[in-house]
Amino acid sequence: MSETAFDVLGIGNAIVDILVQTEDDFLDENGLTKGSMALTSAEEQTALYEKTGQAIESSGGSAANTMAGIAALGSRAAFAGRVKDDQLGRVFMHDIRAAGVTFDSPAAEDGPSTATCLVLISPDGQRTMQTYLGACVNFAPADLSLDQVAASEVTYLEGYLWDSDSAREAFFAAAKAAHDAGRKVSLSLSDPFCVDRHRDGFLEFCREHVDILFANEDEILSLYQCDSIDAAAAEVKDLVETAALTRSAEGSLIVSGADRIAVPAAPVEKVIDTTGAGDAYAAGFLAALTQGRDHKTAAQLGGLLAALIIQQIGARPSAGVQHLLSGLDD
């Protein structure tokens, strides 16, 4: 097999987050389901935004956050996603490159503006998201470099992309190119509501194309419409080569063939903002894996990075996390 140019190529929505602290009453008053991600129109998002307090803006996007985490951990990451050439698109492009991630997708000259996600952070650190997909909706196979896919050890796909028909086509093209080149394909299920929207599609895609699956407990239970992690683990072992199932404070469970490895969560003093916890876990897991470490170490590194991210505002590590892996033994 030829040399790889990247450890992981992420494909996902290119989004700028608008982060606002809020009370749970505000969620109730506006009919929002705490902890969920919902898609909205620009108008709906603006109407909600006008009711919120002072915000800060910070680059986001699930797979983009994961790639930033992978780069921060010293691995080679690339990202493909679609922004418009507008102020927030330039913010996204700056930040993903500043994180050390290769980003070659050209910005759209016209069409919808760069995607924004209004992230409402509750006092307990949980986040409720309203996403306007904007330019992301038009992500298509043409936005993808199949050479880049073939040159990446793992191609990591964000489940949220499934909400766009053309992005889904890019998914299939990427998965085929990766496997043709003898590489691995990874998928994150992203969100239980997303799974609910696309259950059959996800199951079929996983069966045929996915090697490494990431899902939190709500997502995997939604995928199998069952109510125990044991039942879900029994199903998922035949679906993909490796499944990393995250369970918040209960750590994570790695299912790989007949093996099940439970890894406890890393200690957390105070949860500030859970935005990006799952993204960070995937970053740690894939960074360790592509550096030749075993599943247990990968799950530990995922847990460490997730613990770090939920104790700060925002979804990407600021700097100085490379030491995390060196402290772990296989």
Q: Which residues bind a second copy (CB under 8 A)?
A: 18, 21, 49-50, 52-59, 68, 86-88, 91, 94-95, 98-99, 113-114, 314, 316, 318-319
* Closest CB to a second copy among residues 88, 189: 88
β-strands 152-158, 252-256: how paired?
Answer: unpaired
How does DSSP assign 10-28, residue by residue?
EE---EEEEEEE--HHHHH
Min dist. Cβ of residue 308 to a second copy (A)? 15
- Give Cβ neighbours of residue 186 (< 8 Å, ≥ 6 apart): 8, 154, 155, 156, 157, 210, 211, 212, 213, 214, 282, 286
* Closest CB to a second copy among residues 53, 106: 53
In the chain, where do the E strands start and end? Answer: 6-11, 15-21, 37-39, 56-59, 77-80, 102-103, 115-121, 127-132, 152-158, 184-188, 212-216, 242-246, 252-256, 259-263
Min dist. Cβ of residue 87 to a second copy (A)? 4
* Closest CB to a second copy among residues 4, 113: 113
Min dist. Cβ of residue 323 to a second copy (A)? 18
* Closest CB to a second copy among residues 57, 196: 57
* Closest CB to a second copy among residues 278, 314: 314
- Give Cβ neighbours of residue 174 (< 8 Å, ≥ 6 apart): 11, 144, 146, 149, 155, 157, 185
Min dist. Cβ of residue 118 to a second copy (A)? 11
* Residues 206, 143: Cα–Cα separation, whole Å: 23
* Closest CB to a second copy among residues 113, 291: 113
